[in-house]
Amino acid sequence: MKEEELSILRKSIDETNFELLELLNRRAGLVEKVGKIKQEKGIETFDPARESEMLNRLLAENKGPFPNSIIKKLFKEIFSASLYFMDLERREVLLVSRKHQKEDTVVTIGSDLEIGSGKPVIMAGPCSVESFEQMDHIAGSLKKLGVKIIRGGAFKPRTSPYSFQGLRGKGLEILKEVARIHNLHVVTEVLDPRDVEAVTDAADILQIGARNMYNYELLKEVGRGKKPVLLKRSFAATLEEFLLSAEYIVAQGNSSVILCERGIRTIEKWTRNTLDISAIPVIDCESHLPIIVDISHSTGRKDIALPVAKASLAAGADGIMVEVHYNPDVALSDNAQQLNIEQCADFLKGLEQYL
């Protein structure tokens, strides 16, 4: 008898589920019509006063057995889901996703270089711009090795406020002059929306560092520009969050975005961070944007630079970023992970089959 009663109750629950589904979709249809009218009239789609009024009326009519706290949560979810229909320009499919664009995005640097076209690129140079002589020496050496993009930080976000913070404006001037002399492209970091114009003038690629992946105002500012952007994954970011940060840039009109995997923070202590190799093929499946790997910040070790770079390129990376200094022992930042010129030459030779 109990089994028969249970079967009847389960059948009633199933029927109620389908009734709820029908009602939810009917409500969505009505909300969509309201959204179209509001859009035509230029009325703000989200109306918090209307939402509060509906919620209060529902709570007043609630006769249980759900307490008001549960009813409130349930309808808040329904209201939140309905915003999709209220804002017809809200995108269910991200601009950076494969669903939106199946073909790979190829980012053009200057008139002679492409990232994402199938031929991996190398971005190399010191962690920090320290002097003209330093950058001129490194740039000349990298040019002879066939490197076309030089990296170097003029603005340096550091964990300690007492560490070297970069030469700032002077560093940008040095980068610009060195690039002109040696006919190289420059990638350097921008930290503040107020500095975007100055960095844009000096650089061919604007880097958004791991610490600024969540700086949405900065992302929007570089998105309004036309210069390619290199977006680094934060050390605690999921891949979904990473792509949503890229969406901030692309949504502003700048589709020239290069993603950069630079390692995530785990319990491992033998490397600076843990390089997420799986991020490369996953990003390739989920997004049309090119992705490169920073092997220096991800591992913090130059003794494993070559195998890590090989693994990254074999996984499908569109390029490698590596730190190179003419004398790492005297570098003002990250000296332990920077290759010297001779080590860089051996490193590039070891990658010949991929480049």
pLDDT at 89 over 70: no
pLDDT at residue 183 in the model: 96
pLDDT at residue 86 in the model: 66
pLDDT tens figures, 183-227: 999 999 999 999 999 999 999 999 999 999 999 999 999 999 999
Average pLDDT over residues 80-105: 79
pLDDT at residue 91 in the model: 53
- Local confidence band at 4 (pLDDT 50, 70, 90 cut-offs): confident
Letter string b/e over residues 54-68, b meaning 16 or more CB atoms within 10 A of that residue's CB: ebeeeeeeeeeeeee
pLDDT at residue 167 in the model: 86
Quick check: 275 and 261 in contact, CB under 8 A? yes
Dist. CA 204–CA 212, nearest whole Å: 19
Percentage above 70 pLDDT, the chain: 97
Q: Which of 85-94, 164-173, 310-319 has the lowest mean pLDDT?
A: 85-94
pLDDT at 234 over 90: yes
- Answer with the residue of higher pLDDT: 152 or 32: 152
Dist. CA 333–CA 203, nearest whole Å: 21
pLDDT at residue 239 in the model: 97
pLDDT at residue 325 in the model: 95
What is the token pair recorded at 21?
């589904």
pLDDT at residue 49 in the model: 86
Q: Which of 88-92, 233-237, 242-246 has the lowest mean pLDDT?
A: 88-92
Residue 171: count of CB within 10 angstroms of its CB: 23
CA-based nearest residue to 127, from 341, 321, 342, 344: 321
What is the token pair recorded at 248?
């901030």
Dist. CA 246–CA 265, nearest whole Å: 20
Contacts of 210 (CB under 8 A, 6+ apart): 232, 233, 234, 235, 262, 297
pLDDT at residue 90 in the model: 52
pLDDT at 88 over 70: no
Walk me through the domains of the chain, giving residue ranges and CATH numbers: 2-86 (1.20.59.10), 107-350 (3.20.20.70)
What is the token pair recorded at 53?
């009024």
What is the pTM assigned to this prediction? 0.77
pLDDT at residue 36 in the model: 82
pLDDT at residue 208 in the model: 97
Average pLDDT over residues 146-168: 85
- Local confidence band at 47 (pLDDT 50, 70, 90 cut-offs): confident
Quick check: 204 and 228 in contact, CB under 8 A? yes
pLDDT at residue 272 in the model: 95
Average pLDDT over residues 285-305: 97
Average pLDDT over residues 263-281: 96
- Local confidence band at 1 (pLDDT 50, 70, 90 cut-offs): low
pLDDT at 67 over 60: yes
pLDDT at 85 over 80: no
Pairing of the two strands 205-208 and 229-232: parallel
pLDDT at 2 over 90: no
Quick check: 225 and 257 in contact, CB under 8 A? no
Q: Which of 103-107, 110-114, 131-135 has the lowest mean pLDDT?
A: 110-114
- Local confidence band at 3 (pLDDT 50, 70, 90 cut-offs): confident
